[in-house]
């Protein structure tokens, strides 16, 4: 696993080649080409925000910084100091610190330092930059100065493609009837489908069985039983 500052790792599968673009061609192209000094990506979970940020860092290589403000071990605002010297700074779940004055000041200072040094920035959040309950208007205006894109969820064709790509990377064969069963019987948002595929992969390895419809039906019954 590639490592960045603060011990934050990039997922090996988070590359532009593995990203199913769907209706997001323009934001993907902008992030990949570095065509804007600051980009703000927003949308619900499972639209690929984290994937794109990590793919951008992976493609740039060192020095690049990826930080997530909404998960994992909590970081102090001072952790942002010095990242303006990177070629690229990607900050995920940035809206998680909305209302925290110390964090907003740190973000404001980092943004200004990156502008001064020509360091590219990519932010990701659940909402557009003016929407969070920011405490500092100066930071709100800086955030809103980014090029803003809403990432769109994949349609059914795109979700199936993403499912097949994940399966192929794991060496899993997904027959057409298996894909049809998963799409018809399970939660159809991409995050749930990929998490389900991972669980079924583990079950198939343990049982030394292929992912046929009968095996998936039995595995899902066992999974449901363990959760009840």
Domain ranges of the chain: 2-150, 156-227
What confidence score (pLDDT) does residue 189 get?
74
What confidence score (pLDDT) does residue 167 get?
85
Torsion of CA 191, 194, 197, 201, to 10 degrees: -120
Topology alike, domains 2-150 and 156-227: no
Question: DSSP letters of 82-137?
Answer: TGGGSSEEEEESGGGGTT-HHHHHHHHHHHHHHHHHT-EEEEEESS-TTSS--S-H
**Cα–Cα separations (whole angstroms), residue 177 to 105, 164, 181, 211, 214:** 53, 13, 6, 10, 11
Q: Measuring CA to CA, which residue among 103, 58, 50, 62 is closest to residue 80?
A: 103
- Does the domain at 2-150 match CATH 3.40.50.300? Answer given as yes
What confidence score (pLDDT) does residue 126 get?
97
What confidence score (pLDDT) does residue 13 get?
79
For the domain spanning 156-227, the CATH number is 1.10.8
Structure tokens at 33: 């080409």
Rounded Cα gap, residues 185 and 37, in angstroms: 43
What confidence score (pLDDT) does residue 196 get?
82
Backbone dihedral region of 15: left (phi > 0), alpha (psi from -120 to 50 degrees) or beta? beta
Contact 84, 113 (CB under 8 A): yes
Q: What is the pLDDT along the chain (228 residues), one digit of tens a residue?
A: 233 344 455 566 789 998 999 999 999 999 999 999 999 999 998 899 999 999 999 999 778 999 999 876 678 899 899 999 999 999 999 999 999 999 999 999 999 999 999 999 999 999 999 999 999 999 999 999 999 999 999 998 898 888 888 888 878 778 888 888 888 776 667 778 878 888 888 888 888 888 888 888 888 777 665 554
What confidence score (pLDDT) does residue 198 get?
83
Backbone dihedral region of 162: left (phi > 0), alpha (psi from -120 to 50 degrees) or beta? alpha
What confidence score (pLDDT) does residue 31 get?
97
What confidence score (pLDDT) does residue 7 get?
41
């Amino acid at each position: 696993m590639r490592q960045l500052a603060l011990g934050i790792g990039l997922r090996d599968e988070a590359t532009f080649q593995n990203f199913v673009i769907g209706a997001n061609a323009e934001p993907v192209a902008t992030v990949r080409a570095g065509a804007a000094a600051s980009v703000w990506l927003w949308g619900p979970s499972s639209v690929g925000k984290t994937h794109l940020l990590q793919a951008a860092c992976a493609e740039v290589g060192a020095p690049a910084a990826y930080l997530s403000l909404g998960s994992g071990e909590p970081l102090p605002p001072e952790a942002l100091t010095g990242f303006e010297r990177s070629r690229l700074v990607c900050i995920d779940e940035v809206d998680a610190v909305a209302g925290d004055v110390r964090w907003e000041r740190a973000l404001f200072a980092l943004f200004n330092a990156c502008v001064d040094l020509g360091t590219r920035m990519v932010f990701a959040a659940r909402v557009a930059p003016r929407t969070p309950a920011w405490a500092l208007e100066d930071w709100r205006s800086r955030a809103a100065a980014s090029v803003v894109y809403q990432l769109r969820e994949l349609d059914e064709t795109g979700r199936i493609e993403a499912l097949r790509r994940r399966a192929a990377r794991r060496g899993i064969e997904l027959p057409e009837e298996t894909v049809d069963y998963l799409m018809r019987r399970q939660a159809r948002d991409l995050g749930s489908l990929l998490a389900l595929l991972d669980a079924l992969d583990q079950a198939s390895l343990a049982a030394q069985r292929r992912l046929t419809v009968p095996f998936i039906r039995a595995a899902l019954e066992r999974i449901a039983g363990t959760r009840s």
